[in-house]
Amino acid sequence: MDPRLYKSAKSGDVCFLKQLLNDDPMLLYQLTPRENTALHIAVQFGHENVTAEIYSRCRSLLTQPNLDGDTPLHVAARVGRFSIVNYLVRETLSMSQVEFGNVSSKMLETLRDRNRGNNTVLHEAVRNGHNKVAEFLLKIDPKLACFENEAGESPL
């Protein structure tokens, strides 16, 4: 990954990020050695404005796993970034054309994605004590409570 992209995602410098991506939009497809995208980095460090800018330019990054199988939502849930989890879930819901009850089928697939430990985003939120994130995720998809990881543990 271009060091300038990494630095802007980590620091939250949205002005520099916009300038960088206006000059070369393809930078968003670069990865770190652990295969994190700029979206993974932005959510990890809790930069809502950078997260929103990256997501608006490349929505497909939301479902891209890193080497550990973590999507950016796994990372946001693990570190307890409620506002970012809320933003990404609501954006995905509003952009979806296919509805499945009140929740889009695409969003359900994204929430139910599993990492290498077979954990969902709810597993990550609960394991790390982020109750507000866990409650929000359960409101969006109550069935998340039923998925077991490779150790046979449900999130609850």
pLDDT tens readout for residues 74-130: 999 999 999 999 999 988 777 654 444 555 576 778 889 999 999 999 999 999 999
pTM, two decimals, is 0.91
Per residue in 125-152, pLDDT (tens digit) is 999 999 999 999 999 999 999 999 999 9
Which domain covers residue 114, as residue numbers?
3-143
How many domains does one find in the chain?
A: 1
**Nearest to 52, CA basis, from 20, 79, 26, 86:** 86
In a domain, 24, yes or no: yes
In a domain, 150, yes or no: no
In a domain, 156, yes or no: no
In a domain, 32, yes or no: yes
* pLDDT score of 107: 72
Q: How far is CA 20 from the centre of its chain?
A: 22
In a domain, 55, yes or no: yes
Per residue in 3-55, pLDDT (tens digit) is 999 999 999 999 999 999 999 999 999 999 999 999 999 999 999 999 999 99
SS3 at position 58: coil
DSSP conformational letter for 103: E
In a domain, 149, yes or no: no
Mean pLDDT throughout 47-76? Answer: 96
Show Cβ contacts of residue 15 under 8 Å, excluding neighbours closer than 6 positions: none
In a domain, 155, yes or no: no
CATH number at residue 99: 1.25.40.20
What are φ and ψ of residue 104, in 5° steps? -65, 145
In a domain, 133, yes or no: yes
